[in-house]
Structure 1
Amino acid sequence: MNDSLDTTLPIAILGAGPVGLAAAAHVAARGLTPLILEAGALVGANLESYRHVRLFSPWQYNVDRAARGLLEAAGWRMPAPDSLPTAGELVDGYLRPLAALPVLAAQLKLGQRVVAITRAGFDKVKTRGRERAPFVIRVRTEEGERDYLASAVIDATGTWSQPNPLGAHGVPAQGEAALGARIFYGMPDVLGRERARYAGKRVLVVGAGHSAAGTLLALAQLADEVPGTQLVWAIRGQPGAKLFGGGEADGLAARGLLGMRLQALQQSGRLELRQSFRIRSLADNGGVITVYDDAGAAPIEEIAEVIAATGARPDLELTRELRVRHDPWLESTDLLAPLIDPNEHSCGTVRPHGHRELAHPEPGYYAVGAKSYGRAPNFLMATGYEQVRSVVAALAGDLAAADDVQLELPETGVCSTRQAYDDTPAAGCCGGPAPAAAPGCCAADAQASAEGKGGCGCAAAAPAARCGA
């Protein structure tokens, strides 16, 4: 056992998403006590916000080993390892049963929004005796504020609830706040709950990620069903091979097919693409929105609704009173930054890493999961599971296990590009069977489907997946 860990206090785990609950499972498996603090009313609150989205990684990459061990001991059985769950299916079929296990349920506190983390009796400046002081986690609840004490903190609060703005400079565009009621940040349920919001309207999607791609494909299906629905896509860069991903060469077939479908949609003329468009301002012109470019390009006009699929960033304010050290531009730890730099790496090319790369100058505090990547978008859930396994082993004093970081991920170079896939992949293609590397529709089917013709067995496009899935 780690000599500096006060086992009379729990290990606080912030966030009850997939990585947070995996951390809790590892803590429990080590005979330690987790304290799980979740801001939402249910576990997996962020996943709930896009439960309609089918993930591009199969079940085998979405279930943590320690969590699986606890669940199977209680009679749970994992779905087919190679099947693709929706975000909602992952919540209903995995996270909720996991959180309901007695060893975790008794330690789960819902509706507890963490607003600050510090050390008992210490601000950031004071040093002597600091490492022996327990952590204080300040939370806001419906009943008011309260503090929890903990021996260590595993911060799995993620980034999803802190979306990046539309503005080209990393800050909100002029007029963005005033028009907030007509801007959706993230992945709206275009074909379900939000259908009326977008049907028959001219919709602008901003962003070059998986979220943008999936939303565009869902809007294309809506346009097939509701005349007058128009699609405009604005990206800051210029389209190229990376924009539509690896296609048949992608290590995750669902993600590769997403790019093929999106490219076919653009080539069919049903998608207005505005490249190198860096948003300066938005203005209300008689009930519709005009979007202006920072470099003076022709504005995008007559927009009824905007969908900002612009990524997210971590909330660093929580740790203002802790001694943390971040990479200057990614906002990950400085040791992790060169391993995850999206200019060099995709989801599948990030090297395994653990407690040493995730450590901060503040002993006992670790950010894990999507938050550990800061502003880098190339996080995969399986990466977070290995992170927490290593971190918990280190907290338990098992440095041999903590340093033995291993991770198998699909080797792919397209994670920084954005794709989606069919809900039910076709068995073959027009003119012959699908290539072995791409067990879905071929390019001809994708083109036909994008044109509303269906292709040879290709189902209509489903909403896309996020890179973190």
Structure 2
Amino acid sequence: MSGACCGPADVEIEQFASQADASAFPVVVIGAGPVGLAAAAHLAERGLDFLVLEAGSQVGASVAQWAHVRVFSPWRYNIDDAARRLLEVQGWSAPDPDWLPTGAELIEDYLSPLAKVLGPRVRVGARVTAISRLGYDRVRTTGRENVPFLIRLDSGEEVQARAIVDASGTYMTPNVLGASGLPAYGEDDAIVDHALPDVLGTDRDRYAGKHTMVVGAGHSAATTLLGLAKLTEEAPGTRITWAIRAGNATRTYGGGAADALPARGALGTHLRLLVEDGTIELLTGFYTHRVNVTGEAVEVISRDPYGAEQAVTVDRIVAATGYRPDHSIASELRLDLDPILGSTRQLAPLIDPNQHSCGTVPAHGVDELSHPESGYYAVGVKSYGRAPTFLMAAGYEQVRSVVAALAGDWAAAREVQLDLPETGVCSSDLAEAQERRVGLATGISGGLLATPLPLVSVDAGGSCCG
């Protein structure tokens, strides 16, 4: 039998493709976080029909998970230009440009008003489960670019689109606790908390008087450690162990007073003091290998590359080990992903954390974000794959470029510019301005944070690199 190709159905689908008009459908934006809503603002400003699909019950649903946390960069770098223009027409006034907002303030003072301006084309509770081309799987080529995208929701509804801007983020797909990129043995059986719990607020009872291990060397780990350190003053018996794979914590401590983002530098400086005075026990060279649940406690066992083991018994574990993109919803699309980072192949060398910090990432736009699947763009923190070098400002420039290309304005699409921390995101008086408003370092020279709102770079869609 020779039934591999091409039967009557193939002829029919090719005829359908030749007559299809994908431009009759909206551009679908997946995710209503800062970058997704910025994309919608640019689409609205250019008069392009769009639909935003947000899986959560509110706009900024992932941001709401770290609502208690302050970001490193001030308001003037957290508001997209097109969004600002749309909002100001409606009488909106921008917050203090030098203020470092919390996640809650990002939602209340920016994302929610922006969603209101964008109107009913922003849908919440609409989780995308799969994306394909109408009538086409990944293998079929002829006429592919003419047919609309097919988007399936968890409700069973299907939506068609002329293009897709995927700003779904990575917050819901954290890295595993185990070393070497593999889950630790027993990890699935233990209760492992997500990064950035509200240890001084809604989650306080889970940590007060308990021994908590925080695993990870990024700023999310540092923020949780500072919160737990404050809790040791309020709840006797609270203990903190910090486990990292590196031989020292220099990377987390950062540049101190010389850091391009003063709030980030203060975070590292204060963390170092807490380790030095014994408030936080630091374990270096810790490669999580096995997790054993023993009654109410959890034994965490490290096995380093040489086979040496060390074990710690704790009450709770916080995994602040970063995030990774989930491309499974686009498995029927033709993606060209970098085998290391999971970004586009063109973008990878520009964001490689082995070569770049968030402040040295070059400007990039539609050309670096394009896949063989014409019309599909992953943007925002998802576009960076596993690289923790993302800034909201980078995401805003990405969507400006992508939307310009979708509008046919290729000159604007390719004129990309990016102003990041090492080229002027921070002013030297930023930390002082914040201190005058809410107290030290919420300045940090006087000890622990003056409020239960640490300063952090949020690894998953926040304002700076983790």
The answer, yes or no, to whether TM exceeds 0.5 is yes
Q: Does 1:183 align with 2:199?
A: no
**TM-score, with normalisation over the residues of structure 2?**
0.89
- Of 41, 46, 56 in structure 1, the residue corresponding to residue 72 of structure 2 is 56
Distance 1:47 1:55 in 2: 11
TM-fit CA distance, 1:300: 3.5
Q: Does 1:375 align with 2:386?
A: yes
Is the 2:213–2:243 contact (alpha carbons within 8 Å) kept by the matching residues of 1? yes
Report the secondary structure of 2:421's partner residue: coil
Report the secondary structure of 1:89's partner residue: helix
Q: Does 1:364 align with 2:350?
A: no
Identify the structure with the greater helix proportion.
2
Q: Which residue of 2 aligns with 1:30?
A: 46
Q: Deviations over 1:364-394 (max 9, x none)?
A: 0000000000000110111000000000000
Q: Which residue of 2 aligns with 1:325?
A: 336
Q: Does 1:399 align with 2:410?
A: yes
Q: Which residue of 2 aligns with 1:339?
A: 350
Q: Which residue of 1 aligns with 2:222?
A: 213
**Bigger CA drift: 13-22 or 284-293?**
284-293
Distance 1:341 1:370 in 2: 13
TM-fit CA distance, 1:110: 1.2
Is the 2:145–2:374 contact (alpha carbons within 8 Å) kept by the matching residues of 1? yes
- Of 207, 211, 226 in structure 2, the residue corresponding to residue 202 of structure 1 is 211
Report the secondary structure of 1:136's partner residue: strand
Report the secondary structure of 1:352's partner residue: coil
How many residue pairs match? The answer is 432
Q: How does 1:118-267 map to 2 (within 5 A)?
A: 118-140=132-154, 144-179=155-190, 182-267=191-276
The alignment's C-alpha RMSD in Å is 2.2
Opposite residue 316 of structure 1, the aligned amino acid is: H
TM-fit CA distance, 1:6: 4.1
Distance 1:83 1:121 in 2: 50
| Distance change (3 Å), C-alpha of 1:320 and 1:28 | same
Report the secondary structure of 1:25's partner residue: helix
TM-fit CA distance, 1:463: 2.5
Distance 2:370 2:49 in 1: 21
Opposite residue 86 of structure 1, the aligned amino acid is: T
Q: Which residue of 1 aligns with 2:300?
A: 291
Q: Which residue of 2 aligns with 1:463?
A: 454
Distance 1:81 1:89 in 2: 13
Q: Which residue of 1 aligns with 2:102?
A: 86
Opposite residue 68 of structure 1, the aligned amino acid is: R
Is the 1:254–1:422 contact (alpha carbons within 8 Å) kept by the matching residues of 2? no
Opposite residue 200 of structure 2, the aligned amino acid is: L
Opposite residue 123 of structure 1, the aligned amino acid is: D
Opposite residue 148 of structure 1, the aligned amino acid is: V
Q: Which residue of 1 aligns with 2:427?
A: none
Opposite residue 137 of structure 1, the aligned amino acid is: I
Q: Which residue of 1 aligns with 2:34?
A: 18
Distance 1:426 1:75 in 2: 28
Q: Deviations over 1:52-109 (max 9, x none)?
A: 00111110111000000000000001111111110000001100000011xx222112
Report the secondary structure of 2:125's partner residue: coil
| Distance change (3 Å), C-alpha of 1:135 and 1:307 | same
Is the 2:291–2:301 contact (alpha carbons within 8 Å) kept by the matching residues of 1? yes
Distance 1:305 1:35 in 2: 41
Opposite residue 276 of structure 1, the aligned amino acid is: G
Opposite residue 381 of structure 1, the aligned amino acid is: M
| Distance change (3 Å), C-alpha of 1:410 and 1:424 | closer
TM-fit CA distance, 1:299: 3.1
Distance 2:452 2:157 in 1: 46
TM-fit CA distance, 1:126: 0.5
Report the secondary structure of 2:325's partner residue: coil
Identity %: 53
- Of 43, 57, 77 in structure 1, the residue corresponding to residue 93 of structure 2 is 77
Opposite residue 435 of structure 2, the aligned amino acid is: P
TM-fit CA distance, 1:147: 0.7
**Bigger CA drift: 458-467 or 144-153?**
458-467
Is the 1:423–1:462 contact (alpha carbons within 8 Å) kept by the matching residues of 2? no
TM-fit CA distance, 1:243: 2.6
Is the 1:423–1:460 contact (alpha carbons within 8 Å) kept by the matching residues of 2? no
What are structure 2's unaligned runs of at least 5 residues?
Answer: 1-19, 425-430
Distance 1:314 1:135 in 2: 21
Q: Which residue of 2 aligns with 1:453?
A: none
Q: Which residue of 1 aligns with 2:12?
A: none
**TM-score, with normalisation over the residues of structure 1?**
0.88
What are structure 1's unaligned runs of at least 5 residues?
Answer: 414-420, 451-457
Distance 1:233 1:245 in 2: 17
Distance 2:288 2:436 in 1: 39
- Of 81, 103, 108 in structure 2, the residue corresponding to residue 65 of structure 1 is 81
Report the secondary structure of 1:106's partner residue: helix
Report the secondary structure of 1:196's partner residue: helix
Q: Which residue of 1 aligns with 2:8?
A: none
Q: Does 1:411 align with 2:402?
A: no
Report the secondary structure of 2:377's partner residue: strand
Q: Does 1:280 align with 2:289?
A: yes
Distance 1:5 1:121 in 2: 14
Opposite residue 120 of structure 2, the aligned amino acid is: A
TM-fit CA distance, 1:186: 1.7
TM-fit CA distance, 1:23: 0.2
Q: Does 1:387 align with 2:394?
A: no
